[in-house]
Amino acid sequence: MTSTLDITPIARALGAEISGVNLADDLSNAQFDEIHRAFLDHHVIFFRDQADLTPDAQKRFARRFGTLNVHPYVKGMDGHPELLEIIKEPEDKLNFGGGWHSDMSFLEEPALGSILYGVEIPAFGGDTLFANQIAAYEALSDGMKEMLGGLNAIHSASREYSAKGQSAQDRQSMQSEVAIDAPEFEHPVVRTHPETGRKGLYVNPAFTLRFAGMTKRESRPLLNFLFEHSRDERFTCRFRWSQNAVAFWDNRCCWHYALNDYQGQRRHMRRATVNGDRPR
C-alpha cells in the first residue's frame, strides 16, 4: 500500500509528526489504518494546522478508536460532556496536567488514549513532555523485570483530586470536584499492551498510591526508583505546540507532563479521551 501521509519521528524514544491529512475529514479506512499504525509504532503522534477540528469533528475522529470518556471529576464542555476544556488563565498559578502521569489510571478500565487540541497557545512555553514506558521497562535489569512481574499496584484519584490535590484546585475557567471516597483499583506494575503485546511499566506519580499488599511506606523506595527511572531523558520527547495542533498519546504505554512555564499568558486546550480496557 502506498502511503499518503508523511510520518516524521521527532525523537528516538517516541513521537512522530504526521502531515498530509485533515482530521476533520471523513477519513478513509486506508488513512485511518496508517494513523493507527503510526500511533502504535510511535506511542504519541502529532498533527499541525488542524484549523477545521471543531468539537464535533474531534469527537468523530476520537470515536474511530473507541467510545469516549466523560471525566468523573472535571466538568466537560457545554454541549459536549465528552470534551474537557483545559484552560489556564494568565492569573492562574497551577496548570492542569502538571507533573508526570498517565491519564485516568485511577479507573478500573483506564483510558486508551487522549487527543489534545491547541485552541489558544501562549507565545512561548507550554510544551508537553512524553515518556515511553515500554522503553523504560526494557531498560531494566532482568532481575528487576522478574520481581516487578509479580507485583500489582493500587491506583486512585484520592490524592490528586483531594482538597489539596493539584487537579482539584479552583480555576477560573475549569470546574473540578474533590474526589471524596474515590475508589481504588489494582493494576499490574508491568502491563502488556493489548494491541502490540509489548510489556511496559504501568505506575505513575499522580495516581499510583502503593503496591498491593504493602503499606505506602514499604512501597515508597521502589516506587520512587521507578518514577525516577521512567522519566529518564532517554525515554522522552518534547512537543512544541502551535495553534490548531493536535497530540494523540497512548495512555497504555506513555506518561506525559504539561509544563507550567508560561505564567501571565493564556493557554486553552480541548481534550477527548478514548476509553480503554482493564490492564493485564
Count CB-CB contacts under 10 A for residue 44.
26
What are the tens digits of pLDDT across the range 226-261?
Answer: 999 999 999 999 999 999 999 999 999 999 999 999
Would the pTM of this model clear 0.85, i.e. be above it? yes
Contact residues for 56 (Cβ-Cβ < 8 A; gap 6+)? 80
Statement: residue 179 has pLDDT above 80: no
Percent of the chain with pLDDT strictly greater than 70 = 92
pLDDT band at residue 180 using 50, 70 and 90 as cut-offs? confident
Statement: residue 104 has pLDDT above 60: yes
Do residues 130 and 256 make contact, with C-beta atoms less than 8 angstroms apart?
yes
Distance CA 224, CA 201 (A): 13
- Pairing state of beta strands 190-192 and 199-201? antiparallel
Catalytic residue among 103, 171, 252, 267: 103
Distance CA 103, CA 98 (A): 12
Distance CA 232, CA 140 (A): 12
pLDDT band at residue 165 using 50, 70 and 90 as cut-offs? low
Examine the residue annotation and report whether 193 is marked as an active-site residue of this protein.
Answer: no
What are the tens digits of pLDDT across the range 117-151?
Answer: 999 999 999 999 999 999 999 999 999 999 999 99
Domain 6-275 has CATH 2.60.40.10: no
Do residues 97 and 267 make contact, with C-beta atoms less than 8 angstroms apart?
no
Catalytic residue among 42, 43, 101, 193: 101
What are the tens digits of pLDDT across the range 22-36?
Answer: 999 999 999 999 999
Do residues 181 and 213 make contact, with C-beta atoms less than 8 angstroms apart?
no
DSSP tag of 41: H
Examine the residue annotation and report whether 229 is marked as an active-site residue of this protein.
Answer: no
Examine the residue annotation and report whether 103 is marked as an active-site residue of this protein.
Answer: yes
**pLDDT of the residue at 88:** 95
Spell out the domain ranges in the chain.
6-275
Distance CA 44, CA 114 (A): 10
Cell of residue 241, nine digits: 505546540
Distance CA 65, CA 136 (A): 25
3-state helix, strand, coil in the chain (%, to 5): 20, 30, 50
Catalytic residue among 155, 231, 256, 270: 256
71: nearest Cα among 114, 127, 117, 131? 114
Examine the residue annotation and report whether 268 is marked as an active-site residue of this protein.
Answer: no
